[in-house]
Chain A
């Protein structure tokens, strides 16, 4: 996983509420294998970015040339609600985004993002509306997200603190994968498992047929 420390990049405003994971990664793209960083970017918000004939919708914000290099998306409420497909996070990442800022996110999606090195941060609705206003006024403006200090710097220089669990922050900043962190507790898992089996011998197990 690529570490996340301080990101300064073009931010795009995406002012559509309740974009679910099926819009972020349409189901028909979920059959694809993926080389991390490739393969899923094309599918990102496909039906919003392209019309039925596959032509880019010129009025869609991410199709504006000024947002070609955007790395931050300022989203609307409930972004990533719905299906748990982790491919939605892959699509965000492969499209080239590293951070999402919004008033609320689907919980599974937000966890999937953070576990894949995408910082998805929740800030108050009023701040989001203010960021949209600034980004609309100056298309292509940059924002900074400073994870170690947990602050977001708006295009006009105002700063906003954001929250993230200390554990996620630590793993994101260091780019540590969850499995490696877990295997440090291998002995604890072994003894927990033995005790649980002994206390609850009826717990179900399945067999290969």
Chain B
């Protein structure tokens, strides 16, 4: 019988089929960030429960870790509350005997950057993490599912399993060649714009089509990363030669005879030609353009040559109410061309766009140019940072006037204290432009790394295609 990638991986992990509509699935690997995981550990301590399989977990300090003053250790974390959250993950990882990539570790980075980088994320695995962007890891053909940081994480730690309702399947095919300067970020923003932030709720998404097939692993990770911004907890891409080349030689990838066996298994995973999906959508890659958001939801985006929408022209009452509220928060006037919107700062980083290819794309735009607004660049991992420095990208960012920071989630959600000031407008490579996401009263416009670099050069939202030589 023909099956989809999702159905193959799902069925491999079912431990208990419940007649009541949810299934108990086995978790191959779980990532834990400091987020609110302390709540799960608090509860396990009270119940005197331990971790069933510590070697199948990795604690990763990323959300609360400041991207400066690392050499001073925890003493360099000025805010005592933030320092305490970082210390709690250290303590909990020690008490529960969990492997831990902490602030001092050679591999330190954002969980969804380092799991693929270390070869932990592999095709056919079921991976969980107490983070909504867990689907990032689906780019290698894994079934990667976010879990709640309290009860659900506690459940995974204690039992190495998770209860899940089987989602429906949705294939989103993007066919054709992407135009110049149109990136993976623009692909996923265009999808979210078309289907809305609830458009894929209840579905496991498979991204397919020639534009995905010809996309690098970094680009695929960016696409899968923002599945949740379309409502989907799960986003996947069938493993292919790009996947296998990405995995070969990674620290945790199989070796020798295991590699041959793994490869033979992985090549059975892609969706069968005749397999049916519950829903299918197609996009024409050749029609896509560089995107920017103007509102307070990731679906509130437009090609950069567009304008701020006019709520009075919107027929749907619910949509009109949302747009009015969004423009009020974003302090934008209807019908203003997007390229006239001045910005106050830029941020390049986050699990969405902080990999080496992202930094290269931003550096190409910034080389020999100056940013007219302040900003910072936070590589997705310490390994990305080392690679970027070996290529001289750090010197390009510094010469442009941007700060070159250490790795972490940083200004994407500001939980480490690095926030956008109230009333400031930030061009950002991150994934969410919700009210207050980057700080109370902060206004966020999300876009690709090259577009953020262009915004830095012009001091306003700008079409990167205007910069000659790019």
Give the B-binding residues of A (Cβ under 8 A): 15-18, 20, 22-23, 26-27, 30-31, 33-34, 47, 52, 76-78, 81-87, 89-90, 104, 106-108, 111-112, 115-116, 125, 165-168, 170, 177-179, 181-183, 185, 188-189, 192-193, 196, 200-209
Identify 13 new A-B residue pairs, CB closer than 8 A, beyond the known A27-B415, A47-B436, A104-B198: A22-B436, A31-B81, A77-B318, A84-B148, A85-B36, A165-B22, A167-B21, A179-B159, A200-B124, A202-B122, A202-B261, A204-B122, A208-B100
Report if A196-B26 is in contact (Cβ < 8 Å); known contacts: A104-B198, A185-B16, A207-B99. Answer: yes
CB of B317 to closest CB in A, whole Å: 9
Bound-state Cα–Cα, A112 to B440, Å: 25
Chain A residues in 8 Å Cβ range of B265 = 200
Which of B58, B148, B435 has the most chain A CB atoms closer than 10 A to its own CB?
B148
Please provide the chain B residues from 123 to 139 with a CB less than 8 Å away from any CB of chain A in the complex.
124-125, 130-132, 134
Bound Cα distance from A83 to B412, whole angstroms: 12
B231 engages A86 (CB within 8 Å): no
- Verify A17–B98 contact, CB threshold 8 A: no
7 A–B contacts from the bound complex (CB under 8 Å): A17-B322, A30-B36, A33-B42, A77-B198, A84-B130, A166-B21, A167-B20
Q: What is the minimal beta-carbon distance from B448 to any residue of chain A, in angstroms? A: 21
How far is A206 from B28 in the complex, measured between Cα atoms in Å?
Answer: 12
For B245-265 the 0/1 string (1 means CB < 8 A from A) is: 000000010100011011001
Does any Cβ of A come within 8 Å of B152's Cβ?
yes
Enumerate chain A residues within 8 angstroms of B58, measured Cβ to Cβ: 206
The one of A34, A107, A181 in contact with B39, judged by C-beta atoms closer than 8 angstroms, is A34
Evaluate contact between B22 and A27: CB separation under 8 angstroms. Answer: no
Most buried by B among A22, A34, A90, A204: A204
* Those of B35-51 within 8 Å (CB) of chain A: 35-36, 38-39, 42, 49
Cβ of B163 < 8 Å from any Cβ of A? yes
Given A82-B434, A104-B198, do A167 and B231 touch, yes or no (CB 8 Å)?
A: no
- Inter-chain contact B318/A170, CB cutoff 8 Å: no
B residues 373-426 near A (Cβ < 8 Å) are: 413-415, 422
Number of interface residues of B (CB under 8 A): 90
Return chain A residues, CB-CB under 8 Å to B413. 22, 27, 83
In the complex, chain B residues whose CB is within 8 Å of the CB of A207 = 55, 99
Kindly list chain B residues whose C-beta atoms are within 8 Å of the C-beta of A125.
Answer: 318
Contact B99 A18 (CB under 8 A): no
Contact of A189 with B55 in the complex, beta carbons under 8 Å: no
Q: Which residues of A contact B112 (CB under 8 A)?
A: none
B279 on the interface (CB 8 Å rule)?
no
User: Scoring B residues 104 to 130 as 1 if CB is less than 8 Å from chain A, else 0, what string do you get?
Assistant: 010000000000000110101100001
- Does A30 contact B415, Cβ atoms closer than 8 Å? yes
Which 8 pairs show the lowest CB-CB distances between chains A and B?
A167-B20, A202-B254, A86-B148, A206-B99, A165-B21, A166-B20, A84-B132, A205-B55
- Give min CB distance, B281 to chain A, whole Å: 18
* A206:B55 contact, CB within 8 angstroms: yes
User: How far, in angstroms, from A33 to B88 measured CA to CA in the complex?
Assistant: 11
Choose one: B53, B132, B146, B150; the contact of A90 (CB below 8 Å): B150
Residue interface mask B6-36, A partner, CB < 8 A = 1? 0000000001101111101010110000011
The answer to whether B20 and A204 have CB atoms under 8 Å apart is no
Say yes or no: is B173 at the interface (Cβ < 8 Å to chain A). no
142-158 of chain B: CB within 8 A of chain A: 146-155, 158
Report yes or no: B233 in contact with A107, Cβ–Cβ below 8 A: yes
Whole-angstrom distance between the alpha carbons of A23 and B325 in the complex? 14
Contact A165 B165 (CB under 8 A): yes
Nearest CB of A to B62, in Å: 14
Q: How far is the CA of A15 from the CA of B144 in the complex (A)?
A: 33
Whether A179 lies near B258 (C-beta < 8 A) is no
User: Is B57 positioned at the interface, with any CB of A under 8 Å from its CB?
Assistant: yes
| Residues of chain A with a CB closer than 8 A to B261's CB | 202
Q: Is the beta-carbon distance between A86 and B39 smaller than 8 angstroms? A: yes
Chain B residues contacting A47 (CB-CB under 8 Å) are 435-436, 440
Q: Give chain B residues whose Cβ lies under 8 Å from the Cβ of A83.
A: 132, 413, 432
For the complex formed, measure the closest distance between the CB of B389 and the CB atoms of chain A, giving whole angstroms. 24
Partner among A20, A104, A196, A201 whose Cβ is within 8 Å of the Cβ of B434: A20
